[in-house]
Amino acid sequence: MDRKSDRHYEIIIIGAGFSGIGSGISLMKAGFTDFLMVDDADGVGGTWHWNTYPGVAVDIPSYSYQFSYEMRSSWSRTYAHGNELKAYAERCVEKYGLRDHIRFNTTITEACFDENATRWRLISANGEEFTARFVINCSGVLSRPKWPEIKGVRDFAGVTLHTARWDNTKDLSGKRVAVIGTGASAVQLIPEVAKKAESLTVFQRTPIYCLPKPDFPIPTWGGRLLHFLPGAQLVTRTASQAFVEITFPIAAHFHTVIPFADVMESAARRYMRREVHDPTTREQLIPRYSLGCKRPSFHNSYLATYNRSNVSLETSGITHIDHASVNTRDGKAHPIDVLILATGFKVMESGNMPTYVLKGRGGLEQATWWDEHRLQAFEGVSVPGFPNHFNIFGPYGYNGSSYFTLIEAQSRHIVRCLRRARALGANCVEVKKEANDRYFAEVLRRRHRQVFWQPSCSNANSYYFDRHGDVPLRPSTTLETYWRSRTFRLSDYRFENRPEEVRPR
User: Would strands 119-124 and 129-137 be described as parallel, antiparallel, or unpaired?
Assistant: antiparallel
**Whether residue 186 has pLDDT greater than 60:** yes
Is 152 within a domain? no
Q: What value does the mean pLDDT take over residues 466-476?
A: 93
Domain extent for 84: 8-143+347-496
What gap in Å lies between CA 20 and CA 443, rounded to an integer? 26
* Residue 353 and residue 306 in one domain: no
pLDDT surpassing 80 at residue 501: no
Residue 148 lies in a domain: no
Answer yes or no: is pLDDT of 502 > 70.
no
Question: Looking at residues 436-444, what average pLDDT do you find?
Answer: 98
- DSSP-assigned letters across all residues of 292-316: TSS--EE-SSTGGGGGSTTEEEE-S
- DSSP E strands: which ranges in 118-261? 119-124, 129-137, 159-162, 176-180, 199-203, 210-211
User: How many distinct structural domains can be found in the chain?
Assistant: 2
The C-alpha angle 410, 41, 296, rounded to 5 degrees, equals 55
Give the CA distances from residue 120 to residues 84, 342, 386, 425, in Å, rounded to whole numbers and listed in that order.
Answer: 36, 36, 10, 18
pLDDT at 48: 96
Instruction: Using the 3D structure, point to which of 341, 364, 381 is the last residue of a domain.
Output: 341
Distance between CA 479 and CA 472 in Å, rounded? 19
The reported pLDDT for the residue numbered 340 is: 98
Kindly report, residue by residue over 102-114, the tens digit of the pLDDT: 999 999 999 999 9
Asked if residue 255 and residue 176 are part of one domain, the reply reads yes
What would the mean pLDDT of 315-338 be, rounded to a whole number? 97
Residue 440 maps to a domain: yes
For residues 331 and 333, give the distance between their C-alpha atoms in angstroms, rounded to a whole number.
7
Tell me, yes or no, whether 332 and 242 share the same domain: yes
Question: What is the predicted pLDDT for the residue at 261?
Answer: 77
**Percent of the chain at pLDDT exceeding 90:** 78
Q: What does the mean pLDDT of the chain come to?
A: 93
Residue 194 contacts residue 179 (beta carbons within 8 Å) = no
Asked if residue 154 is part of any domain, the answer here is no
Does residue 459 have a pLDDT over 50?
Answer: yes
Same domain, 34 and 137: yes
- Measure Cα distances from 388 to 112, 120, 319, 396, 400 in Å: 11, 8, 47, 19, 26
401 falls within a domain: yes
Residue pair 158/324 in contact (Cβ under 8 Å)? The answer is yes
Of the residues 341, 364, 382, the one at which a domain ends: 341
Together in a domain, 257 and 180: yes
503 pLDDT higher than 80? no
Domain identity same for 399 and 255: no
Per-residue pLDDT of 249-267, as tens digits, reads 888 888 887 777 788 889 9
* Pairing label, strands 159-162, 338-341: parallel
Tell me whether residue 70 is in a domain.
yes
Q: Residue 3 above 60 pLDDT?
A: no
Evaluate if residue 272 carries a pLDDT over 50: yes
Angle at 129 between CA 125 and CA 135, to 5 degrees: 95
**Do residues 17 and 131 share a domain?**
yes
- 387 cis-preceded (ω within 30 degrees of 0): no
Same domain for 337 and 351, yes or no, is: no
Domain endpoint, select from 293, 310, 341: 341
Residue 312's pLDDT is what?
A: 98
pLDDT class of 1 with cuts at 50, 70, 90: very low
Percent of the chain topping pLDDT 70: 98
371 phi and psi angles, rounded to 5 deg: -60, -35
Can you tell me the mean pLDDT for 383-407?
A: 95
Same domain, 235 and 190: yes
> Is residue 1 one of the residues assigned to a domain?
no
Question: Are 72 and 190 contained in the same domain?
Answer: no
For residues 322 and 360, state if they share a domain.
no
CATH number for the domain including 419?
Answer: 3.50.50.60
Residue 494, SS3 per DSSP: strand
- Among candidates 380, 376, 378, 442, which has minimal Cα distance to 406? 380
Domain match, 199 and 295 both? yes
In the predicted model, what is the mean pLDDT of residues 142-163?
Answer: 93
Domain assignment present for 93? yes
pLDDT band at 66 (very low <50, low <70, confident <90, very high): very high
At 20, the pLDDT band (50, 70, 90 cuts) reads: very high
Q: What is the pLDDT of residue 6?
A: 61
Question: Which among 413, 401, 393, 389 is positioned nearest to 486, based on CA atoms?
Answer: 413
Size (the chain), residues: 505
pLDDT over threshold 70, residue 86: yes
Q: Kindly list the distances between the CA atom of residue 401 and the CA atoms of 38, 407, 440, in Å, as whole numbers in the listed order.
A: 26, 11, 20
What's the alpha-carbon Rg for the chain, to the nearest Å? 23
